[in-house]
């Protein structure tokens, strides 16, 4: 009899690929949606990659409410807690808890339900910026032993929320003496092919490059392919050695100018609008004064700091594919789905 995995937030970019790969590997999958009306969208997205048949089921549950979580985890062997609140704009000046509270409380709701149901393991998606110094501008390489300070007032709201949520999860598990174990995965910038144009998240950066920009700011990313990110989640789910561990899953570092070059080379005529020049730092800073959407990327301008994935490679046997390959696959997928 196949084991059952609950994936939270089935309409999300990473969660959708988790559902696809789990089905491909023979698991039964249950995924949460915030309302019944979301089911068809998930089914259509998953159907582009795999036939789910009767192996995909749904539970209605929201991170902001206790309702539905006990039923969602009932009968499940594992939980991949992928869902997290997202925000296009940084709300920290308006409401510093707008992202933090639902991220932290949502993680605790999932863990309470999972431990009460006796699932074997919860694998929670955190972020690499929970294991980072406040500034990325200093030289250095960090691993999973470093924790970001969530009380730092300079942190963007999303980074603060992810750090607080992961901290709360580990604190909760420290007081738990049942069979359930926790593992957290800390990805970098998640790119790669999409299942549906309705959930773009971080891949919009690649979309902007393909559509054409005046130039690329001196911003860099540690790129992880969404398919590799799903793979490390599943490895962490089943590996005995992964219990109680954090794993960075950041992938190769790529400057935005290098991503643009990869797209021009890999997309042929479709890459004709991809920018060829780099925008000077002073001009990016000046533009951010008038364009609020640029302010969130300012801490990464001229980034020097990196992360190491040596632990995931050693313990889980995980490897990320080349960043340029991921960026090109993302661009081709966006074109195929008529997003750009």
* Phi, psi of 265, deg, nearest 5: -75, -35
- Given 92, 120, 162, 211, which residue is catalytic? 162
Residues in contact with 208: Cβ distance below 8 Å, sequence separation at least 6, in sequence order? none
The reply to whether 162 belongs to the active site is yes
Start-to-end C-alpha separation, the chain: 43
Asked if 89 contacts 293 with a C-beta cutoff of 8 angstroms, the reply is yes
CA–CA dist 154, 233 (Å, integer)? 30
CA–CA dist 127, 204 (Å, integer)? 18
Q: Look up residue 130 and give its two tokens.
A: 């929970």
- Judged by phi (left if over 0) then psi (alpha if -120 to 50, else beta), residue 317 lies in left
CA–centroid distance for 57 within its chain: 23
Asked if 160 contacts 147 with a C-beta cutoff of 8 angstroms, the reply is no
- Helical H runs in 7-85? 13-24, 39-47, 69-73
CA–CA dist 130, 338 (Å, integer)? 34
Rounded (5°) CA angle 251-254-318: 10
Query: At 124, is the secondary structure helix, strand, or coil?
Result: strand
Active site residues: 162
């Amino acid at each position: 009899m196949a084991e059952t995995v609950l994936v939270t937030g089935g309409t999300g970019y990473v969660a959708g690929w988790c559902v696809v790969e789990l089905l491909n590997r023979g698991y039964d999958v249950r995924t949460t949606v915030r309302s019944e009306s979301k089911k068809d969208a998930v089914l259509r997205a998953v159907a582009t990659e795999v036939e789910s048949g009767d192996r995909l089921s749904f539970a209605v549950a929201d991170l902001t409410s206790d309702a539905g979580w006990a039923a969602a985890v009932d009968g499940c062997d594992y939980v991949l807690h992928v869902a997290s609140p997202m925000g296009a704009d940084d709300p920290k000046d308006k409401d510093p808890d707008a992202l933090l509270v639902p991220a932290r409380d949502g993680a605790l709701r999932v863990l309470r339900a999972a431990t009460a149901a006796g699932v074997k393991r919860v694998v929670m998606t955190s972020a690499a910026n929970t294991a980072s110094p406040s500034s990325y501008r200093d030289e250095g390489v960090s691993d999973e032993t470093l924790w970001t300070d969530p009380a730092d007032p300079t942190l963007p709201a999303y980074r603060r929320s992810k750090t607080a949520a992961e901290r709360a999860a580990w604190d909760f598990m420290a007081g738990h003496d049942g069979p359930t174990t926790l593992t957290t995965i800390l990805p970098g910038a998640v790119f790669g092919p999409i299942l549906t144009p309705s959930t773009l998240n971080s891949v919009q950066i690649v979309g902007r490059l393909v559509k054409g920009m005046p130039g690329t700011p001196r911003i860099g990313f540690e790129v992880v392919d969404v398919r590799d990110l799903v793979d490390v989640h599943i490895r962490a789910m089943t590996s005995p050695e992964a219990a109680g561990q954090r794993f960075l899953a950041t992938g190769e570092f790529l400057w935005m100018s290098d991503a643009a070059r990869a797209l021009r080379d890999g997309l042929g005529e479709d890459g004709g609008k991809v920018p060829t020049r780099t925008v000077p730092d002073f001009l990016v800073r000046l533009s951010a004064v008038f364009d609020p959407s640029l302010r969130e990327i300012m801490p990464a301008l001229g980034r020097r700091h990196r992360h190491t994935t040596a632990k995931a490679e050693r313990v889980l046997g995980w490897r990320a594919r080349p960043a340029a390959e991921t960026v090109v696959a993302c661009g081709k997928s966006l074109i195929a789905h008529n997003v750009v």
